[in-house]
Amino acid sequence: MIRTKQVLTALLFFITVSATAGVNIKNGNFYISYTDHDLARFNGMEIMRTYNSKSSEKGLFGIGWGSEIETRLYMIGDGHVLIKEFGAGSPNQFSPAETNEALITQCINQLVKAALQNEDIENNPAAINQFRREMRNNLEARFRKWLFYTDEGLLKPPVITEYSKWESQDLGYQQLTKTTAGFKRTNDDGSYDLFNNRGLFIGRYKADGRLVYSISYNAANRIAQLKDKGGNIFTFTTNKDGRVISIKSRQGTSFYWYEGLALVKTKDIANNTYRHSYDSSFNMTGIHYTNGASMLIEYETTTFFCKKVTEPNGNVSMYEYKTFFDAEGNVNDNHYATLVLSLPKGSVKADSAYYEYEIRDKPDGSSYIYHFIYKKNSELFEELNNEQCEMPDHVLKANMKHLYTYNSNCIPVTYENDTILVKAEIDTAWNKASRMLTTDKRTNSTKEKKITYNSSGNPVRMQEDTVTTTITYSASQKVTRIKQGQTELIYKYDSFDQLSTVTSTGTGELLFVYDKEGALLRKESKKGKATADVIEAAYNRLEKYIAQTGILFDY
């Protein structure tokens, strides 16, 4: 519904290696991701790296590049812990249960000493006090300085006692615990990551302890090997600067070359060569392929926002960024817009897409998208969201208004457009509708739908006018039967609890076929395609119907 990036139309495929590029329409960041190794069909994982023009991080694949395996933990002297996702990503901040003012003061004293040693501030009371105030009042600046001076060797990581705990809400609820061997980060679903005492990422596991993958390092603390859940081994070779120069797997070997900090050339497992060029600020300006084609990227001269991308097929995308100002005449970082012009090769007329966002702050310090506008050529979509629920009160699409209201739990209780009015009575035990009235404003006729739930909150009976729908479940709350009028569907599951067949009484059986990883391959019937299509249509219709236990955002 709301987009913050524009993905370029070209997907560049060379044998088993793929790349996807795009531009973030908020900050003008050009990005491109490469999958160098993909062992999904061997019950394994993929090795993917992503370049971001707005990133200045120096990772395993050079400046601006990041990957999941570069996730790193950093200990801060004030008691916080940071985890940089994908190496080049935004820091995920973990806070201790209680703020330790003495520790914060000690941390700031260490930062002052390091800043003086590095000649970043003058050695006088005024400069030192100003620096102290900034470090105390600006948490992000404090983190940034601590990481910088630690990297420069002017500070040492703090000593942390075993069983210390931290929490974060940055990426959903996560808990971090200090262990003898390092750190354990536990996600809300029970899955967890492990880091060693140096903060290096050493493993990812499912909630039941099953391995997703583990990472080992050599004596110089450089990545050496990755082993995934399928027993697949990825072997890494690095240069003297710690940059990856090769990755070997059962698929083959990929190679990487550098000039200084920049990754300038790669060769994939199928021997395709890619050359990367950059400007003096390490913004990627070109990707040159074996077949002679190139992707060219241009940037604004002051902001370094991406302004133009020419794809290998000749299609051109241009980006124009709009700035808004607040009442005092300052740039409003919470209000921005971007016009995207797309010009296919050989065309003289560009398609246009306009995106505008207005962000507002809430009393608790969080923020939400208050106003969103999207124009595609002459078509307009507009959305106004409320503060409490961060959900739309007002939507304009195709010249039709859509209006919503909510209860105190942010469950929609009314919906209205030009032709209908829907009112919902909410079952507070499940936050789902127990009764819905839909009025056709043109005929002034009203339909009533009543819904009854079982003790697990799943619908077991739906009564809409004269039509009754009943749903039966297994002990594990899997649907086993749906009956609506003359239509009856019987569900059966395999030993992995995956849906294996849906039988339509009097019609036939729809079979669900999976690959060895459990991904659905196809649906078919022994009676042929026509029968499969009939049963699948009934299956899709009834699945959608029983899922409608409230007012939908289906504008």
pLDDT, mean of residues 517-538:
94
- What's residue 171's pLDDT? 85
Any idea where the domains of the chain sit in the sequence?
Answer: 88-238, 386-547
- What's residue 1's pLDDT? 45
pLDDT, mean of residues 292-311:
96
Q: What is the pLDDT of residues 472-494, one digit of tens each?
A: 999 999 999 999 999 999 999 99
pLDDT of 111 > 60? The answer is yes
Q: Band of the pLDDT at 348, cuts 50, 70, 90?
A: confident
Whether the CB-CB separation of 169 and 364 falls below 8 Å is answered with no
pLDDT, mean of residues 521-526:
96
Q: What is the pLDDT of residues 6-16, one digit of tens each?
A: 555 333 333 33
Q: Band of the pLDDT at 554, cuts 50, 70, 90?
A: confident
Q: Band of the pLDDT at 555, cuts 50, 70, 90?
A: confident
Burial class (CB in 10 A: 0-12, 13-18, 19+), 395: buried
pLDDT of 89 > 80? The answer is no
Q: What angle do CA 100, 104, 109 make, to 5 degrees?
A: 150
Mean pLDDT for all residues in the chain: 93
Reference 22, options 279, 231, 311, 270; nearest CA is 311
CA-based Rg of the chain, rounded to a whole angstrom?
A: 28
Residue 511, classed as helix, strand or coil, is strand
Whether the CB-CB separation of 533 and 539 falls below 8 Å is answered with no
pLDDT, mean of residues 63-81:
96
Amino acid symbol at 286: G
pTM for the model:
0.78
Helix 101-117 with 125-137: angle, nearest 10 deg:
130
Q: Which residues pair with 383 in a beta bridge?
A: 372, 395
pLDDT of 2 > 80? The answer is no
Q: What is the pLDDT of residues 18-60, one digit of tens each?
A: 678 999 998 999 999 999 999 988 889 999 999 999 999 999 9
pLDDT of 66 > 50? The answer is yes
pLDDT of 265 > 70? The answer is yes
- What's residue 15's pLDDT? 32
- Comparing 194 with 495, the larger pLDDT belongs to 194
